[in-house]
């Protein structure tokens, strides 16, 4: 016999390892406190996200409830502690028969596994760039996979995000130069999940010679990333402490990545990429405050008079301006959904590859008409004025901290809240 804590730990481990195939709870502790008599649980995929479906069996109907892994673990513990006296948990590793006495003493009988994991949804299984079930060293080190290649339940969203990012890289890999080592810079790399993923994909899977430099302001984060790169033997992956505006150690870069660099730090990174002649730019902007205080358009007052709507419109307008300016600067630009809207509103990725996007005169006319309509004065236009047609204004002086103006120097660090 075991204390009830043993059962809680078992359930926690099953959800942590994402190993549950099916569970059944029966034998009510009291028949007068619930209207259902049995609950069955199984993992399902909903919009490519892992959930657990609870089927509550009543006398004349079955009601279903789909829960996230954290919610499912909590509900499972509640059912065994308050409602049922018997359970059968079938996992990839083993079957566990659970018996709970009136005094909450637990008996756990372990048997060989009787079931195999099934397809989680009616849809075809998604084929990821990094496949589940195949151990990937950096994912194991970062706590996303276990050593057998199983993705931990609480890290499944991160696993999907990494694969989504690599899919976007996969689509533009043909635009990167051939026949020589690649140089890639990641501005505001943060904890560098995607930096390690990019290195693994290009160096190990695609067998490309390359060097990747990650830049961030947080010295402790950079130290951790360098230690991890050393443990993984990623010899051509280096991390440096520094900000975007001051970084000038390279003359030519093939790919620039900037994820959640704050406000105009994104624009500073885009300017660097353009002046380096980068073949590919991948940018997820963040905290677009610049246009919020600039936008004026009386005809749009029903929208702009509401702060939350003005903030969202300002962010969308900022990214639209960036995309059009990149088109004018010699790129073909797409705005793509990076991760699902339910996770974060900051989910737009700007993907640009070198190549003529259209007639420069027409693009400039479209851009200036929109810019002037909302009375915008974008940092990126001023920064790249010498590269743009027409009079884009004077290039701004380097932005520094100013107590009176409140302006901030563009920084490579990503937001803590992103």
What order of strands is seen across the sheet that includes strand 106-111?
62-67, 49-57, 38-46, 20-28, 84-91, 95-100, 106-111
Provide φ and ψ at 386, rounded to 5°: -75, -10
Confidence of residue 341 (pLDDT cuts 50, 70, 90): very low
Confidence of residue 415 (pLDDT cuts 50, 70, 90): low
Q: What average pLDDT does the segment 212-232 reach?
A: 93
Query: Which of these, 143, 134, 205, 142, lies nearest to 169 by C-alpha position?
Result: 205
Confidence of residue 188 (pLDDT cuts 50, 70, 90): confident
Structure confidence at residue 414 (pLDDT): 53
The 10s digit of each residue's pLDDT in 175-184 is 999 989 999 9
CATH 3.40.50.150 domain span(s) along the chain:
154-387
Confidence of residue 48 (pLDDT cuts 50, 70, 90): confident
pLDDT at position 199 over 70: yes
Q: Could you tell me the pTM of the whole model?
A: 0.69
Q: CATH topology for 154-387?
A: Rossmann fold (3.40.50)
The 10s digit of each residue's pLDDT in 342-369 is 444 557 899 999 988 778 999 999 999 9
d(CA 38, CA 17): 25
Strand pairing category for 182-187 and 255-262: parallel
Across the chain, mean pLDDT equals 85
Structure confidence at residue 104 (pLDDT): 78
């Amino acid at each position: 016999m075991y204390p009830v804590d043993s059962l809680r730990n078992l359930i926690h481990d099953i959800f942590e390892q994402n190993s549950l195939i099916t569970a059944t709870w029966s034998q009510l502790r009291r028949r007068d406190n619930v209207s259902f008599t049995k609950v069955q649980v199984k993992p399902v995929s909903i919009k490519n996200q892992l959930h657990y479906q609870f089927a509550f069996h009543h006398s004349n109907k079955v009601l279903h409830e789909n829960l996230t892994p954290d919610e499912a673990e909590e509900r499972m513990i509640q059912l065994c502690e308050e409602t049922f006296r018997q359970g059968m948990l079938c996992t990839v590793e083993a079957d566990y028969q659970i018996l709970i006495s009136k005094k909450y003493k637990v008996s756990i009988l372990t048997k060989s596994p009787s079931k195999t994991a099934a397809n989680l949804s009616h849809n075809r299984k998604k084929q990821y760039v990094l496949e589940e079930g195949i151990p990937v060293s950096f994912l194991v080190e970062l706590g996303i996979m276990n050593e057998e290649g199983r993705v931990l339940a609480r890290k499944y969203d991160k696993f999907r995000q990494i694969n989504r990012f690599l899919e976007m890289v996969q689509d533009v890999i043909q635009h990167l130069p051939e026949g020589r080592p690649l140089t890639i810079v990641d501005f505001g790399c943060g904890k560098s999940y995607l930096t390690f993923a990019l290195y693994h994909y290009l160096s190990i899977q695609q067998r490309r010679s390359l060097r990747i430099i990650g830049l961030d302001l947080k010295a402790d984060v950079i130290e951790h990333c360098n230690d991890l790169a050393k443990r993984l033997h990623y010899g051509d992956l280096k991390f440096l402490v520094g900000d975007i505006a001051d970084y000038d150690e390279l003359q030519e870069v093939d790919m620039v990545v900037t994820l959640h660099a704050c406000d105009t730090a994104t624009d500073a990174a885009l300017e660097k990429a353009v002046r380096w002649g980068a073949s590919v730019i991948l940018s997820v902007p963040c905290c677009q405050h610049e246009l919020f205080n600039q936008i004026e358009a009386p005809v749009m007052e029903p929208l702009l008079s509401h702060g939350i709507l003005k903030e969202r419109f300002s962010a969308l307008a900022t990214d639209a301006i960036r995309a059009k300016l990149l088109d004018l600067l010699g790129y073909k630009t797409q705005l793509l959904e990076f991760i699902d809207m339910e996770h974060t509103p900051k989910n737009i990725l700007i993907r640009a590859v070198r190549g003529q996007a259209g007639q420069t005169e027409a693009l400039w006319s479209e851009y200036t008409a929109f810019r002037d309509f909302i009375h915008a004065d974008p940092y990126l236009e001023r920064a790249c004025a010498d590269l743009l047609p027409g009079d884009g204004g004077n290039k701004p002086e380097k932005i520094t901290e100013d107590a009176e103006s409140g302006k901030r120097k563009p920084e490579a660090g990503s937001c803590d809240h992103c």
